[in-house]
Amino acid sequence: MDTQPLKDRRAIVTGAAQGIGHAIAARLAAEGARVAIIDIDRRAADEAAAQIGFGAIAATADIALEEDVDRAFDQVVAEFGGLDILINNAGIVGSDTPVHDLQVSDWDRVLDVNLKGTFLCSRAAVRHMIPQKSGAIVSMASISGKEGNANMAPYSVSKAGVICFTKTLAKELLEHGIRVNCLAPALIDSPLLAGMEPERVDFLTSKIPLGRLGRPEEVAAMVLFLASDESTFTTGACLDVSGGRATY
């Protein structure tokens, strides 16, 4: 049995300078993948790549910007000689605001990063994957994309969009040997929580039947499954990482 399920696979993980993405990049690298971090924070991305080791590299992009994304993907693919795995992880939560007070700029930025960014990165990746007739894409949705969370309309809508984009893209790519899936985590212990009101963190934690926050490593383990050949009969799926909150 191969002890490294991702041996020689080439992977991009967006938003991997910290939090869940960092844990994913570290796990994929430990399982044999050559990993590139693409993040808006260059210094943190460089530090994360150095800390992860295993030849991990970093590139900078704001995933909401077409030119940034295409340049960063071209740069990584030129260095790696191809691309086998894309993890669409970068995302922002936005402000804690009811719809009647929401600024259009808040709505636009969250949708631009979380949903348009997922589209732009997926498009850049599949342009490299289609010719080789293989690949795996895993995107980070959220339980809020299934249920909707009050005061988090842009975030919830963007994550619902990620779920539907996953199903759509999966159908388009069946004939090209590329699988596309997403995850719907509940609250995970990451730096993202620092941008949320403490009362919201407490409320969302109280909705998790297991009674605790998830750990980034628990999300990374699910990503490994979906990115590897352990899940070759799974595409277009949204899998749960919610401590029992989503039972559907």
Ligand X SMILES: NC(=O)c1ccc[n+]([C@@H]2O[C@H](COP(=O)([O-])OP(=O)(O)OC[C@H]3O[C@@H](n4cnc5c(N)ncnc54)[C@H](O)[C@@H]3O)[C@@H](O)[C@H]2O)c1
Q: Catalytic positions, please?
A: 155
User: Count of residues for the chain?
Assistant: 248
H or E element in which residue 14 lies: strand 10-14
For residues 248 and 245, give the distance between their C-alpha atoms in angstroms, rounded to a whole number.
Answer: 9
Query: Considering only 37-45, 71-79, 146-154, 224-232, which stretch makes contact with ligand X by CB under 6 A?
Result: 37-45
Q: Is 223 an interacting residue with respect to ligand X (CB under 6 A)? A: no
DSSP strand E in the chain: where?
Answer: 10-14, 34-39, 57-60, 85-88, 135-140, 178-185, 238-241
Query: Which of 12, 56, 77, 90 is in the footprint of ligand X by CB under 6 A?
Result: 90
Q: Does 87 bind ligand X (CB under 6 A)?
A: no
Q: Are strands 238-241 and 178-185 parallel, antiparallel or unpaired?
A: parallel
17: contact with ligand X by CB under 6 A: yes
Q: Which of 12, 25, 26, 39 binds ligand X (CB under 6 A)?
A: 39
* Coil/strand/helix, residue 115: helix
Site for ligand X in 122-141 (CB under 6 A): 140
Interface with ligand X, residue 113, by CB under 6 A:
yes
Q: Does 15 bind ligand X (CB under 6 A)?
A: yes
Distance CA 135, CA 180 (A): 9
Of the two residues 12 and 90, which places its CB atom closer to ligand X in the complex? 90
At 141, which amino acid appears? A
**Three-state secondary structure call for residue 217:** helix
69 binds ligand X (CB under 6 A): no
Binding flag, residue 62, ligand X (CB under 6 A):
yes
Q: How far is CA 71 from the centre of its chain?
A: 19
Interface stretch with ligand X, choices 9-17, 26-34, 128-136, 170-178 (CB under 6 A): 9-17
Among 58, 64, 83, 152, binds ligand X (CB under 6 A): 64
Neighbours of 109 (CB within 10 A): 16
Contact residues for ligand X, defined by CB under 6 A: 14-15, 17-21, 39-41, 61-64, 89-92, 113, 117, 140, 142, 185, 187-188, 190-192
